[in-house]
Amino acid sequence: MTLSSAPLPQTAVQEQGLRFAFYGRVSTEDNQDPAASRAWQLRRAGGLVEPKGGTIVAEYFDVDKSRSIPWARRPRASALIEALKNPARDFDAVVVGEPHRAFYGNQYSLTFPLFEHFRVPLWVPEVGGAIDPANEAHDMIMGVFGGLSKGERNRIKIRVRSAMAAITATEGRYLGGRPPYGYELIDAGPHPNPAKAADGKRLRRLVPHPAFSLVVKWIFAQFIGGRGLFDIAEELTREGVPSPSAADPGRNRHRVQVAWSKSAVRVIVTNPRYTGRQVWNKQRKDEVLLDVNDVALGHTTKLRWNDRDQWVWSEQQAHEPLVSVEDFERAQAVLASRGHGPAVHKPHRTRRPYAFRGCLHCGYCERRMQGNWNNDQAYYRCRFPAEYALANTIAHPKVVYLREAEIIKDIESWLMTAFSPGRIEATVEAMVEQAGSTENPAATQLRKQLSTCAQRLNQYRAALNAGADAVQVAQWINETEQERARLEGELRAVPDDRVVSTDELREVLRQTSELAHAVVNACPDDKADLYAKLGLRMMYYPQKKLVEAKLVPTSTCANGVCPRGDLNPHAP
């Protein structure tokens, strides 16, 4: 039975000169090349519409977005949906080069009704043209492709997890991620996969760090001897021993690196990899509904801990142990004897709203202040242990408190005044005067890094001319050349600055003004989310009894770069 031979709508076949918008998607999590993927999907779409007189005039291509993400949460797909709603859109139909990439699960049945409603034909190669909403065969084909797409993703997930479990148990292979504190990575030979080995991929192996491994052994000895986690953390900070985040600052730029925390000591004491065994599957990724009242929004991924009986242990020692199995089990027994298991948080009967959640910072240490409910009122506090203050060389009170009711009216009054019509015009004039005088901060940073690469290359070449080891210097030069190529690619991807018209500025400020008014009039439960969207940042200076407030545009990871750095430098 050939389902694709069903008759197409006559209007779609006979009408010539249609203008098409192309939609495609690529996920880079499995090392796909976005440029190559876009090229073949676009070529396939063009091969469908061009013989029938069609022309692709617009492109909507999502990069680094999983197929499981619904259209409403894909940037370019949602932009395409918005374009459908515009009667003055610059295309007559939409063509998809690969249904597997565009639709997942039931996404087709949730999306195609919009194309029907706005009378925009959707073309796919699998039906040879436009989808006929009245044709059951077409609907069946698209439903099958959605199911196949979901099944393919699930099969890949199962195969990968099964392979990682087998490799951990039988080979004890290091599977990636940052090395535990006290270990470092060394080369362990070529990759066993011939194709990856031909590409230069290498295995890595854990070896004890000459200094930090001694710290781990000392921590276990002190803990088994009866000292508490916080007591150990205080002494390590007092003695100036680098904390785990300070030991690897490149991957921990987002963390406070000056002192040890109680949780850092606990992580070391409970990590079984210090026994020399490789352990995998301590955590899992669960997909949970983003909104139980709107299933169409899809799922979000939550990282959760597995029970110990689900961990996968290597059958043999995979690296040099820092503690014996007996000492590790003794430490777990000591930890268990000091409590009744992990604390269970009992949810409050009603959700306690904190209007400035995540927005208020301490003027002493610049950390975010935590919400604290006291006497049926919202407070914000900053607790800073004495050893942390000593390591920071700052005078910090043990606890800093601020009551929300003391500042919320002043903040709301300031927002209403800041976005009055008169202030908006003054802001537009100031921004126009400064236009063109500043460069994109991302581009500036990348140019500084490129300059550093150039300096290092000159130094390496000078060392080579002076008689240094040619093999070692060549390796340094190759690594720096690769880094420079990466930086140049990122610099090319940075959007060029463009002159923004005063009308556009007024529109942006007008929308911000509407958001500010929405904050003032919102219920307490919604204020925190609206303040976050507004970009509110406040600094509380207790010694001056002053709160400094400003609006800072919110930002996230750009171009897929993780703020923690590359967690898997060995991976392809």
DSSP result, 30-72? GT--HHHHHHHHHHHHHHHHGGGT-EEEEEEEEES--TTS-GG
Looking at residue 563, its pLDDT comes to 38
Three-state DSSP at 267 gives: helix
Question: Looking at residue 454, what is its pLDDT?
Answer: 81
Assess whether 329 and 371 both reside in one domain. no
The pLDDT value recorded for residue 8 is: 40
**Residue 549 belongs to a domain:** no
Is residue 536 pLDDT above 50, yes or no?
yes
Indicate the residue type of 334: V
Structure tokens at 447: 């140019």
- For residue 341, CA distances in Å to 229, 282, 333, 337, 354 come to 16, 17, 11, 9, 30
The answer to the question of residue 215 being in a domain is: yes
Q: What is the predicted pLDDT for the residue at 255? A: 61
Least confident of 9-23, 279-293, 477-491, 518-532: 9-23
**Judgement on whether residues 32 and 104 belong to the same structural domain of the protein:** yes
The rounded Cα 252 to chain-centroid distance in angstroms is 14
User: Residue 385: what pLDDT?
Assistant: 66
The full 3-state SS of 450-478, as one line of letters, equals HHHHHHHHHHHHHHHHCCCCHHHHHHHHH
Whether the pLDDT of residue 337 is over 60: the answer is yes
* CATH label of the domain that carries residue 78: 3.40.50.1390
The b/e string for 300-332 (b: 16+ C-beta within 10 A; e otherwise) is eeeeeeeeeeeebbbeeebbebbbeeebbeebe
pLDDT digits (tens, 9 = 90+) for 356-407: 888 899 888 788 888 888 888 889 998 876 656 565 566 778 888 899 989 8
Residues 464, 325: one domain?
no
In whole angstroms, give the CA distance from residue 356 to residue 404: 8
Residue ending a domain, among 135, 154, 173, is 154
**Cβ count near 143 (within 10 Å):** 15
Answer yes or no: do 75 and 43 share one domain.
yes
Tokens linked to 56: 């692709």
pLDDT tens per residue across span 36-69? 888 999 999 999 999 999 999 999 999 888 888 8
CB atoms within 10 A of CB 75: 12
Orientation of helix 408-418 relative to helix 502-521, angle to 10°: 150
Give, in degrees to the nearest 5, the angle at Cα 470 between 465 and 471.
160
Q: Give the per-residue SS3 of 1-31.
A: CCHHHCCCCHHHHHCCCCEEEEEEEECHHHC
Give CB contacts under 8 A, 24+ apart, made by 38-46: 40/97, 41/97, 41/98, 41/101, 42/97, 43/97, 44/97, 44/98, 44/125, 45/20, 45/95, 45/96, 45/97, 45/123, 45/125
* Domain end point (choices 472, 498, 524): 498
Q: What's the confidence (pLDDT) of residue 347?
A: 54
Share the mean pLDDT of the chain: 79
User: What sign for the dihedral angle of Cα 449, 451, 454, 458?
Assistant: negative
156 pLDDT higher than 80: yes
Task: Answer whether residue 175 is part of any domain.
Answer: no
Is there a domain that residue 424 lies in? no
| Phi/psi at 199 (5° precision) | -85, 0
DSSP percent split of the chain into helix, strand, coil, nearest 5: 50, 15, 35
Average pLDDT score over residue span 419-430? 68
Do 322 and 192 lie in one domain? The reply is: yes
Rg (CA), the chain: 29
* In the predicted structure, residue 137 carries a pLDDT above the cut 60: yes
Question: How many residues in total does the chain contain?
Answer: 572
29 with 135, same domain? yes
Mean pLDDT of 8-36: 70
Q: Are 182 and 276 in contact (CB under 8 A)?
A: no
25 shares a domain with 126 = yes
With respect to residue 508, please indicate whether it lies within any of the assigned structural domains. Answer: no
- The larger pLDDT score, comparing residue 337 to residue 457, is at 337
Predicted confidence at residue 5, as pLDDT, reads 36
CB 142 within 8 A of CB 104: no
Residue 202 confidence (pLDDT) above 80: yes
CA 434 to chain centre: 32
Nearest to 142 by CA among 113, 178, 100: 100
Asked if residue 209 and residue 327 are part of one domain, the reply reads yes
457 plus 399 within the same structural domain: no
Q: What CATH number is given to the structural domain containing 252?
A: 3.90.1750.20
Long-range contacts of 336-343 (CB under 8 A, 24+ apart): none
- Answer yes or no: is 379 within a domain: yes
Residue 228 domain boundaries = 183-278+314-337
Distance (Å, whole) CA 428 – CA 167: 60
For position 265, what pLDDT does the model report?
A: 92
CA distances from 491 to 243, 483, 502, 556, 569 (A): 33, 12, 28, 18, 21
Per-residue CA distances from 217 to 94, 324, 460, 529 (Å) = 63, 10, 38, 45
On whether residue 119 sits in a domain, the answer given is yes
- Provide the domain count of the chain: 4
Question: What tens digit of pLDDT does each residue of 204-243 get?
Answer: 889 999 888 999 999 999 999 999 988 898 888 888 888 8
pLDDT tens digits for range 496-516? 554 556 666 666 666 666 666
- List alpha helices for 279-324, DSSP H: none
Residue 8's nearest CA partner among 127, 126, 165, 144 is 127
Q: From residue 281, how far is each of 30, 203, 208, 572 by CA, in Å?
A: 20, 20, 23, 21
Closest residue by Cα to residue 24 from 72, 52, 47, 58: 58
Secondary structure element (H or E) that encloses residue 217, with its range:
helix 212-224
- Whether 330 is in a domain gets the answer yes
The string over 388-415, giving b where at least 16 C-beta atoms fall within 10 Å of a residue's C-beta and e elsewhere, is bbbbeeeebeeebebebeebbeebbeeb
Q: Are residues 328 and 365 in the same domain?
A: no
> Are both 199 and 150 inside the same structural domain?
no
Tell me the mean pLDDT in the region 164-173.
86
Confidence bin at 274 (pLDDT 50/70/90): very high
User: 51 and 128 in one domain?
Assistant: yes
Is residue 250 a contact partner of residue 210, using CB atoms and an 8 Å limit?
no
As a whole number of angstroms, the distance between CA 159 and CA 166 comes to 11
| Lowest mean pLDDT, pick from 15-24, 524-533, 552-561 | 552-561
Residue 295 or residue 560, greater confidence: 295
Query: Does residue 545 come out as left (phi exceeding 0), alpha (psi in the -120 to 50 range) or beta?
Result: left
Tell me what pLDDT residue 389 has: 58
